[in-house]
Amino acid sequence: MKTALRPSLCKTPLLAAVLGLLALGVQPAAAQERAKDLFGAKKLPTATAPQSFGFYSKGCFAGGVAIPMAGPTWEVMRPSRNRRWGHPAMIALIEKLSVDAVADGWPGLLIGDIAQPRGGPMTTGHASHQIGLDADIWLTPMPSRPLSMAQRESMSATLMVNEKTHLVKDALWTPAHTRLLKRAASYPEVERILVNPGIKKKLCDTVKGDRGWLRKIRPFWGHDYHFHMRIGCQPGSPSCKGQEATPADDGCGKPLAWWFTEEPWRPNKNPDAPKARDLMTMANLPRECQAVLEAPGPVSAEAATYHGGGVPMATAAPEPEAPSPPATAGGGEPALPASANAFAATPEGGVPLPRPGN
Ligand SMILES: [Zn+2]
């Protein structure tokens, strides 16, 4: 029927022109492709040297490695999300933490989201976790019996905080939780650990003796099922943008008290407004991220999986000359709303600061 129709339609010059354009694949100014869709579609990392580009909430990374689905001291949760990738230094540190935590009396780590294989904005969840230097670890200890893959998809984490009072549920908090956070904060690479304000308060109220590590424990929305461990920019990443150092004090004073006022918990007036990660296009990310998207990957996920013994590099697929991302940071990228930095102290207007789930 269509073929019979077309000749008569083509008698109209305008229609003929439109049909011609459609045949050429020319479409009226379509929305620019979103970076989260491009990065979210990548199944494997780049098979290039490890390097982070940009900031925790606006960037990407190359040379990622995966933490194995399970080891003697950890299990990866929600494996279908394929977010068990990170900078090799991050993955090595998570494994180290898992071993140290067991020695401290924590049964093992349940590992939440780290990053997508090449980082970048995520299709759901997190504003940060974009440059391979952030990881979420559950505040639920690893069960004694191995979890099946199905259980890892469905098992719930434990909510540690009363959502009305914003205080830790005392029946659930144990000294082992405190030791786990202290251990994570003890590593020089770890710059910040994000926890719910109730958890920060619990530590402020109960930690005796050495309190220096509390400086790294930062209150934030959400983070009541898991904590978020962030390491600094790693050597070999000249265009990685670090975060300002945390204040030198334990953070248990005025800034913490603010979290127990009404202000941080006022309902979001515009809950449906798009988040920064929903708006970002490739033009908003460091220029190198385009090369990261296009670079060849390893032969398989297994070929880029970390198996201990120092810092690994992904094994490249046998391909000619991998184009490596340019070494310098891109300039002149279009400005994003201030909230693209999920951890800015104060929102500067525009898109609202990301709420829980970061
Ligand atoms: Zn996180």
Q: Would you write out the chain's pLDDT as a tens digit for each of its 358 residues?
A: 333 333 333 334 444 444 444 444 433 333 478 999 999 999 999 999 999 999 999 999 999 999 999 999 999 999 999 999 999 999 999 999 999 999 999 999 999 999 999 999 998 888 999 999 999 999 999 999 999 999 999 999 999 999 999 999 999 999 999 999 999 999 999 999 999 999 999 999 999 999 999 999 999 999 999 999 999 999 999 999 999 999 999 999 999 999 999 999 998 888 888 888 888 999 999 999 999 999 999 999 999 999 986 544 444 554 444 444 443 333 333 333 333 333 333 232 223 333 444 4
Class of the CATH-defined domain 28-266+278-307: alpha beta
Pairwise CA distance, residues 86 & 90, whole Å: 6
- Centre of ligand 1 from the C-alpha of residue 227, in Å: 7
- Centre of ligand 1 from the C-alpha of residue 200, in Å: 16
- Centre of ligand 1 from the C-alpha of residue 40, in Å: 17
pTM to 2 decimal places: 0.80
Q: How many CB atoms lie within 10 A of CB 134?
A: 26
- Centre of ligand 1 from the C-alpha of residue 211, in Å: 24
- Centre of ligand 1 from the C-alpha of residue 221, in Å: 11
- Centre of ligand 1 from the C-alpha of residue 128, in Å: 7
- Centre of ligand 1 from the C-alpha of residue 105, in Å: 24
- Centre of ligand 1 from the C-alpha of residue 226, in Å: 8
- Centre of ligand 1 from the C-alpha of residue 168, in Å: 19
- Centre of ligand 1 from the C-alpha of residue 114, in Å: 8
- Centre of ligand 1 from the C-alpha of residue 312, in Å: 24
